[in-house]
Chains A and B, each alone.
Chain A
Amino acid sequence: MDFKLTEEQELIRDNMREFARTYVDPIAVEIDENSRYPEEVIKKLADGGWMGMPFPAEFGGAGVDYLTYAIAVEELSRSCAATGFTMSVHTGLACGPIALFGNEEQKKKYLTPMAKGEHLGAFALTEPGAGTDVGAATSTAVLDGDEYVLNGVKTFTSNGPVANTYVTFAWTDKNDKRNGMSAFIVPREAPGLSVGEHFMKMGIRASQTSEIIFKDCRIPKENLLGKVGDGMKIAMNSFDHGRIGIAAQAVGIAQAALDESISYSKQRVQFGKPISRNQAIQWMIADMYTDITAGRFLYYYAASLKDQGLPFSKEAAMAKVFCAEMCSKHASKAVQIHGGYGYCKGQKVERLMRDAKITEIYEGTSEAQRMVIAGNVLR
């Protein structure tokens, strides 16, 4: 165990850092303020081969391991958590289930343009009455000849307004709570699909979130993902993958909070000396650095288990809850270090603190992660 990335992984990390500095830093404030989808950056990510990192080259991906992908999410999120999340939800939650559960035809037709970054993906599971309680969903899918007819309202769909391809879930048998839900691939142009309300969020404002409404939405029956009744399994599996990406995103936000805190505390002079010479500040910085390092190794560990084909559900949940909570804590500390300036628009830490909170909520709340961990440990 040498805790060392390969030269290639380091270079990919450095290149993503360079990419983020060159193309994302200059627009990060503006896209946050205007809640604007950074289409031009997503296009550049696609051109650089970053939108389908862990998928096989034959389906448009780059064929790198999941760890390398997660590291890239961290580096991108360090500049802009919303852009990092757009890439992460597309890769982990939309491309991921198609790559794992899709058949050859589906991978050719849907995964390939997604992994190339020509199409953006979204994951439409949550409903107004069904968040952590996935089973409370009410959307239905009825087979009618050669087509499934979907009805229901999905909410908080990340990438919803800008996606070309949706992975969604609906009951094919409402009476079977265990195996009655199925997963589907729905193209944007499917008749009966519409984008509902756009949500204005506290943080990750450049990430686009909306309702997705299925009203007698017709899709070919070939768009069933996996088998009839696989829905719940596919949803949970997707979350396991997605959570590694969110943990990485949280580490990226926390790292940015640390970067800002180090440079500010060395420059800010009070009582005749830089505030970094005060033990109170030093301890905050020491705790940040320690938690970031611990969090980073937690998600590295989860990703490396996945890359070795070993079970990683518990470890992904551990990484997600730890990284999210330390991220929120330290983003708040970073504002504290910046004092009044940190509370004002224009300081990066103000955005970081707003962005951090969501990592404790989406792709399974911190409470849901603890349910997964406890369920594994107490088994």
Chain B
Amino acid sequence: MPNIVCCFKWVVDEAYIKPSSAGKIDLEWAEHKLSDYDRNAIEAGVQLQEEYGGTVTAVTVASSEATKGIKDALSRGPEKAFFINDEQFENLEPVQTSAILAQVISQQIDYDLIICGEGSSDMYSQQVGPRLAEKLGIPCIALVKKLEIKDNRLIAERKTDEGIEVVSAPLPALVTVLPDINNPRVPGLKDTLAASKKPVVDVSLEDLAAEYPALMVLEDMRAASLVRNCTRFGSGPEDIQAFVEAVNKTGIIDRG
């Protein structure tokens, strides 16, 4: 009966990302959500538990304000959560997040399988899963679309550019999952109400008793802008010339 850990990130909902008038990104009113592929990670954990038994624990490294994210994750099935939080834990780099996760998971959680999303829906670096496996010294199978456990081994189908690869690894192991792996269930009303009553282990930066300095500092972030224009062209030879000139003028095509 495997003990499963599902890692998740509470991210800014991209639907709320708006450029401010000064060209910056205005996140003041942005809502947060559970990162898309982490929903698949949690669902994969819960489905394995339904099949093989064991436990599912949800873990996140987040800002202290992410309490709603904990309830959200717990409403999707895990019976317990670790909330590793600090006011500074906003915009962490993958190297920091994976180091913090590795410390807490190795010291406090008895695990057989760790499931992460393929990447987060905000930064999508795809690094936290593989880095975490490296730090814990366990096998990592990335980009998984199907998962089963047989004789204490993990059998996973990976979707790669070359095709489907079936691999296996001994437990404990870590996988990162693709959205193809499942359709996450929609939590019912009672799941949400029950989530508030599930145990949450609060881990603070002081509890960690370690420093996790950033290697890279974010200096500035600006919004990309898209200006839509509509110009009509006919289909005669002179129109094609006009079209070419218009395209050249906009600089859409780099003529090197």
| Interface residues in chain A, defined as those with a beta carbon under 8 Å from any beta carbon in chain B | 7-8, 10-12, 14-15, 18-19, 22-23, 47-50, 53, 62-64, 72, 269, 272-274
The answer to whether B67 touches A7 (Cβ under 8 A) is yes
A49 adjacent to B186 (CB under 8 Å): no
Please report the C-alpha to C-alpha distance between residue A62 and residue B196 in the assembled complex, in whole angstroms: 14
> Is the beta-carbon distance between B189 and A64 smaller than 8 angstroms?
yes
Residues in B with CB closer than 8 Å to A53 are: 189
Range for the number of chain B residues in contact with chain A:
20 to 34
Main SS class of interface, B: helix
Known contacts A269-B228, A269-B230; A7 and B68 CB within 8 A of each other: yes
A272 and B68 contact, CB distance less than 8 A: no
Nearest CB of B to A279, in Å: 18
List residues of chain B with CB under 8 Å of any chain A CB: 33, 67-68, 71-72, 75, 186-193, 195-196, 228-231
List the A residue with the shortest CB-CB distance to B72: A11
Neighbour of B193 across the interface among A10, A62, A72, A273, CB < 8 A: A62
Q: Do A273 and B188 form a contact, CB below 8 Å, given A7-B67, A7-B68?
A: no
**Given A7-B67, A8-B71, A10-B68, A15-B231 contact (CB < 8 Å):** no
With contacts A269-B230, A272-B230 known, is A47 near B189, CB below 8 A?
A: no
Chain A residues, Cβ within 8 Å of B228:
269, 273-274
- A-chain residues with CB within 8 Å of residue B229 when the two chains form the complex: 272-273
* Cα distance A50–B188 in the bound complex, in angstroms: 7
Which of chain B's residues have a CB closer than 8 A to the CB of A49? Answer: 188-190
User: Which of A11, A19, A273 is B68 in contact with, Cβ under 8 Å?
Assistant: A11
User: Distance in Å from the Cβ of B39 to the closest Cβ of chain A?
Assistant: 10
Which of A10, A14, A48, A64 is close to B188, meaning CB atoms less than 8 Å apart? A48
- A19–B189 alpha-carbon span in the complex (Å): 11
Also in contact, A11 and B75, with CB within 8 A (given A269-B228, A269-B230, A273-B228): yes
Residue of B nearest to A267 (CB): B228
Q: Are A64 and B193 in contact (CB under 8 A)?
A: yes
Nearest residue (CB) in A for B183 is A22
Contact B71 A7 (CB under 8 A): yes
| Contacting residues, chain A, for B72 (C-beta < 8 A) | 11, 14
Question: In the complex, what's the smallest C-beta–C-beta distance from A20 to chain B, in angstroms?
Answer: 9
- In the complex with contacts A272-B230, A273-B230, A50-B189 CB distance below 8 A: yes
When chains A and B are docked, how far (Å) is the Cα of A62 from the Cα of B195? 14
Complex CA distance for A269 and B230, rounded to whole angstroms: 7
Contacts of A273 in B (CB 8 A): 228-230
Residues A62 and B189 in contact, CB atoms below 8 Å apart = yes
Report the Cα distance A134→B230, complex, angstroms: 59
* Bound CA–CA A63/B193 (angstroms): 9
Known: A50-B188, A63-B193; 13 extra A-B contacts, CB below 8 A, are A8-B196, A11-B195, A12-B192, A15-B186, A15-B187, A22-B186, A48-B186, A48-B188, A48-B189, A49-B189, A53-B189, A62-B193, A64-B189
